[in-house]
Chain A
């Protein structure tokens, strides 16, 4: 992604419109991270528009595919029960946008572990993302862990990954050791898809 030729601040007034504008943006050769982030942030979360994708699992967070972006990106909704969190993971050389639709998510950034590392991974920073905020990360920025630290509220987030990927590495915080994992969808386009 490179600097845009002209800056256009589009506002998405609905989830449908957001998807439409994303399709248009990603059909171009030049795409700007700032533009996508601003667009995602501009959409004011309306549960009526995404409730059909928000399928929760009792035991862990779920990934629910919303749109396949003509092969250019994956748009999905993640549902986090109380206390649910992810492992520390990378993003397989892709761009990752994460917008909060409901509740709050804590994002902890980590440095990449040393090549021969056998020690505790280094925390870079942490923050709590609020409703409608949109965060961005890619492998050159670092690794992160995302968690719903609330014991009383669930959380829902909207993720865009470009290019799409179905596997990534997870990391052991104590040792920096990594393991490749395959990622699966709990549902696609509103339909439950058990694997």
Chain B
């Protein structure tokens, strides 16, 4: 970029340097206080020093709303970007990312995040702390599971997960009531009912913890060592509403199907406190109309009906 950039064009609002072969964007950018859209697709950015230091503190850092770095060579999300508090739209599609840093939650204004076409294997739960995120694209990656915390993205309207390595989804996904688009094609989603039979019996510590919680045995923080106080605070409620139980580390994973569009069944993950604890809905066998009808009381079905226009690919 020419070094006189901010002097010649101090009012510059949109800069498109896509397809110019740039390997780095220099400090010339930092002094552009009106620049809200920077497009630098299909370049050679990604190596050390691709981006100027101090991006978050510069005038540019406060003005930037839209950033498109798709089709470059980033192997990690550049930490310099995390200071862009006003950034609303970020695309790093078609790069070489292997993961998403938990600090992504610092991009407080982010509404649109495109990370399709990378090598991402997992999603940090901190991604769910982006309060305004409405469009999340994670297609064409190597993701094996979705953290249940993602259900906290209340503003999410569109979630793109196609062409990954998902075998199931967390049942919390049903809580995304504003979700209008969900793409799941090209994942090895389990079609038939699967029960995970490997169950590690609870330890004495866990049994004691369960008893304290379910019987509401009173205790003060001064009664117990700190580590046990903390352990007791980690109790999770069994999702079966008919069971009042809690569990700590020992739980059974069960894939349960929920009808979204009549005959479609999606494998959702349930955690139960023991193999004897049955899921709220009686076991799902082969899909049949009568089975769907008996599911109608199920709270999961109610939530599922709320998700009207789900795109199953």
Contact = CB atoms under 8 A, between A and B. Distances in A.
Contacts of A59: 135, 157-158, 180-181
B117 A60 contact: no
A125 interface: no
Q: Which of B137, B311, B312 has the most C-beta atoms of chain A within 10 angstroms of its own C-beta? A: B312
Contacts of A138: none
A107 to B, nearest CB: 15
A60 B159 CA distance: 11
Interface string B115-136: 0110000000000000000010
Contacts of B162: 85
Contacts of B47: none
Contacts of B271: none
A60 B183 CA distance: 11
B160 A83 contact: yes
A174 B261 CA distance: 14
A60 B311 CA distance: 10
Contacts of A83: 93, 114, 116-117, 137, 139-140, 160
A151 B117 contact: yes
Contacts of B34: none
B142 to A, nearest CB: 15
A85 to B, nearest CB: 7
B94 interface: yes
Contacts of A175: 191, 263-264, 287
Contacts of A167: none
B155 to A, nearest CB: 12
A83 B118 CA distance: 13
A151 B93 contact: yes
A172 interface: yes
A10 B264 CA distance: 47
Interface string A140-173: 0000010001111000000000000000000011
A58 B113 CA distance: 11
Interface string A111-154: 00000001000000000000000000000000001000111100
Contacts of B42: 152
A52 interface: no
A26 to B, nearest CB: 33
Nearest to B72: A152
B262 interface: yes
A151 B162 CA distance: 13
Nearest to B117: A151
Contacts of A6: none
Contacts of B263: 172, 175, 177, 179
B114 A173 contact: no
A174 B158 contact: no
A46 interface: no
Contacts of B254: none
A85 B70 contact: no
A87 interface: yes
A82 interface: yes
A59 B158 CA distance: 6
Contacts of B262: 179
Contacts of A118: 286-287
Interface in A37-77: 58-60
Contacts of B139: 83
A78 B201 CA distance: 56
A85 B183 contact: yes
Nearest to B137: A83
Given A59-B135, A83-B114, A175-B191, A152 B185 contact: no
B183 to A, nearest CB: 7
Interface in B139-190: 139-140, 157-158, 160, 162, 180-181, 183, 185, 189
Contact of B261 (A149, A150, A151, A179): A179
A82 B93 contact: yes
A179 B308 CA distance: 13
A79 to B, nearest CB: 15
A172 B157 contact: no
Nearest to A177: B263
Contacts of A179: 261-263
9 contacts: A82-B114, A83-B117, A83-B137, A85-B183, A85-B313, A152-B42, A175-B263, A177-B263, A179-B262
Top 6 nearest A-B pairs by Cβ distance?
A151-B93, A151-B94, A151-B117, A152-B71, A59-B158, A152-B70
